[in-house]
Structure 1
Amino acid sequence: MDPTDPTATAPLIPLHCRRAAEAGPPTRTELLTGTPVWWVRRHADVRQVLTDPRFNRVDLYAPDAPATTPYPNIMDAPDTILNLDGAEHQRLRRTVQRAFTPRAIERWRPWVASVVDEMVDALAEAERPLELVAAFTRPLPVAVISRLMGLDGLDLKRLAHWSDHALATTAYTVQEVQEAMKEFGAFGAQLVAERRRHPGEDLVSSLVQAADEDGEVTELQVIQLVIGLVLAGHETTMTTLGNGLVYLLTENRQAWHELAGDEQRAATVAEQLLRSVPLGDADIIPGLLRRAAADVEVGGVLIPAGAVVAADTFAANHDPEVYPGDWRQELLDPPGVPHLTFGAGPHHCLGAWLARLELELGLRRLAQRLPELRLAVPVAEIDWRLGLLTRSPQTLPVTW
């Protein structure tokens, strides 16, 4: 970068370099819309906000609710599983949660391992340098969720298009996001209709059957749940894999070699990366949003009914009262306290155990087969996915 060029901007830092906000009691700040928000950062406080039913999502979309985001995306649909609470939320959650229990996910281990091995074998034979996002970090979680949902042959380019628009903030215009979401919704509607006519053994078929038997889940909710699972089923894993590899292949080669040793070590590294490396920047939303349905005391501060609260899970995951050490030095040591990356309480991420399994197997098998894997470009030249709620490499050239 030319320091004399007034239009020049500094390269983005990798997300593992982002510093968490200091822990402290809830404080007032503002969202980009100008809406006042209580910013909650301590681990105990964030966990309270996420588990206390007096803080909910549904009131964020009440008639009197203030604007919380200037950017429309899939997170804003008020009648999805993400934005419903209580009995309605549990009704939707029951239709799908059995497929994502730890025991259910563990049964998938041999198959997921075979998918990883097949991809890594192909990588080892490919020409170098190789672009790792297209060859590994995106297709791995897509292959897994496609198998679970019976979506063999899913168009990766279309999925990437829908996913980026679904999580967009500044990357696209409002019209572009709306058009992409209309296409994504049409895909979901067609898939639901097809599985209702010709049910199979996949998750979509069981979801449609459960919803039809319940009788109170609307068709739109079923469609939104399907496309939400397609999106969430690969986005977190792809993002964490990409950002984790940037760190391991540049700043912690020792851990890269050691995680290849056994499954438990790889699982620990995956867990520490999930805790310590954020999924995105904090320039749009400072945390998981909730709204107080009553006056509630959090961390010694009274938060009034109707107030919007941002639970900063990244800050909570670095709370020195809970995690006193440097995560870089403890990458091979299991966190003593469960982290909050996947949330907590009723809205805890359904796919948490699936993401863990994919990260563990993906990192371990890649490190075993390609121990000398390294970036083929300087970190400052990484091309990032920008203007989204998440940030990860758009491309990641590697060699060995």
Structure 2
Amino acid sequence: MGKAFTPRAIDRWRPWIASVVDELVEQLAHEDQPVDLIAHFVRAMPVAVFGRLMGLDGLDRERLAFWSDHAFATTAFPSQQVEEAMLDFFVFGTGLVAQRRAEPGEDLVSSLVQAADEDGELSEEQIVLLTILLVIAGHEVTTTVLSNTMVYLLTEGRDTWNALGKDEGLAPATIDQLLRGISISDRDVLPGFMRRAVEDVEIGGVLIPAGSMVAADTVTANLDPEVYPEDWRTQPFTSPDTPHLAFGAGPHYCLGAWLARMEMELALHRLPKRLPDLRLAVPVEEIDWRRGLLTRSPNTLPVTW
């Protein structure tokens, strides 16, 4: 499964992903203003890209958003509603796995099912859970990252926005800094990624016994002045000397990191190139934020140009 997300494999998809981005940008340019950037571009792009890669072109965007919101919910919905939504999502995943096992294709779900069946170490439930996790991660996380990035670029990051529109070569380094500096989590409910210590370890003079649950705060780590002496906003076109932790690390490193980077590189060059005067149509204080989820991003982002 991991081979499907290697840089070499994903690089073959770049022309097609670029065409998806261009089409969505052009459609956005012809919408009546103001227009919701989230609905018409930010959410539409990862749904189109990942939907095609997983062979889910016909999946209802609203249904997918509904599942994703409930999967990341903390206080946004009643617990019974979350359970019902997740059961519905699991039933969908069960049917999808069964269908791809019976009629395999060239998509990622078919590759996952085939690899899992050959390996024989995953239960059917685990295969289904991994499949629906990929569906959520490929859609929700990319949407959230790009949403929050757009808020920054259309406000205090305006100079970076203008430069990205003029030079696509700036995108890779800039994205590293944006990923490092812009949080996607709701820090009130998600202080960090939950990890279990597999052995005794001492960090900063504190002993963490084996078996302890730890909230690994990658947001703070990405801003540690001893590791990153320069503010991420002051050198937006230079990659940090030390790799950031936005995609995790080690065995927890995000499988789709290369795909997410490519989507952001293309979007954050082609959108400002086509619509350099894109701007918020509401004061930043009036942005309607999604609340009660593990992640935090705008519900809507009205823009004009």
TM-score of Structure 1 vs Structure 2, range by shorter chain: over 0.9
Per-residue deviation, 1:244: 0.8
Instruction: Please identify, of 203-212 and 294-303, the stretch whose mean Cα deviation from structure 2 is larger.
Output: 294-303
Unpaired runs of 5+ residues, structure 2, are: none
Q: Tell me the equivalent position of 1:252.
A: 157
> Where does 1:235-314 land on structure 2 (aligned, <5 Å)?
235-314=140-219
Distance, in Å, in 2 between the alignment partners of 1:247 and 1:216 is 44
Name the % identity: 65
The amino acid of 1:141's aligned partner reads P
Between the aligned partners of 2:200 and 2:135, the Cα distance in structure 1 is 37
Matched, 1:106 2:11: yes
Residue 212, structure 1, aligned to residue 117, structure 2 = yes
Contact kept, 8 Å, 2:186 with 2:293, in 1: the verdict is: no
- Cα offset for 1:233? 0.5
Once residues 229 and 301 of structure 1 are traced to their aligned partners in structure 2, the CA distance between those partners, rounded to angstroms, is 35
Give the TM-score normalised by the residue count of structure 1: 0.74
Q: 2:80 aligned with 1:153, yes or no?
A: no
Match of 1:186 among 86, 91, 105: 91
Instruction: Tell me which moved more, 167-176 or 207-216.
Output: 207-216
Bigger shift: residues 276-285 or 179-188: 276-285
Q: Which amino acid counterpart does residue 354 of structure 1 have in structure 2?
A: L
Q: Kindly indicate whether the alpha-carbon contact (under 8 Å) linking 2:287 and 2:301 is maintained by their aligned counterparts in 1.
A: yes
The alignment yields a C-alpha RMSD, in angstroms, of 1.1
The answer as to 2:258 corresponding to 1:370 is: no
**Correspondence for 2:100:** 195
Q: In 2, distance between residues paired with 1:224 and 1:178?
A: 15
SS in 2 for 1:297: strand
Q: Give the equivalent residue in structure 2 for 1:229.
A: 134
Per-residue CA deviations over 1:342-400 (Å, capped at 9, x if unaligned) read 11111111111111111111111000000000000000110111110001110000000
Aligned length: 305
Aligned twin of 2:222: 317
1:130 pairs with one of 9, 30, 35: 35
Structure 1 residue runs without a partner (length 5+): 1-95
| Alpha-carbon separation, structure 2, partners of 1:193 and 1:375 | 45
Q: Distance in 2 between matches of 1:98 and 1:356?
A: 17
Is residue 393 from structure 1 mapped to residue 298 from structure 2 by the alignment?
A: yes
Paired amino acid for 1:373:
L
Point out the more displaced range, 269-278 or 210-219.
210-219
Whether the aligned pair in 2 keeps the contact of 1:132 and 1:398 (CA below 8 Å) is yes
Amino acid at match of 2:31: A
Q: Which residue of 2 aligns with 1:168?
A: 73
Give matches, 1:55-66, under 5 Å: none
Q: Which residue of 2 aligns with 1:348?
A: 253
Deviations 1:267-310 (A, max 9, x none): 22222111100112211131112222332122333222332212
Larger Rg: 1
Query: Over residues 160-212 of structure 1, what are the superposed CA-to-partner deviations in whole Å (9 max), with x where a residue is unaligned?
Result: 00000000011011111100000101111111111112111111111111122
Higher helix fraction (1 or 2): 2
- Alpha-carbon displacement from aligned partner over 1:122-163 (angstroms, at most 9, x marks no partner): 111111111111101101011111111010111000000000
| 8 Å Cα contact 2:43-2:139 kept in structure 1 | yes
Letter in 2 for 1:304: P
Return the TM-score normalized by structure 2. Answer: 0.97
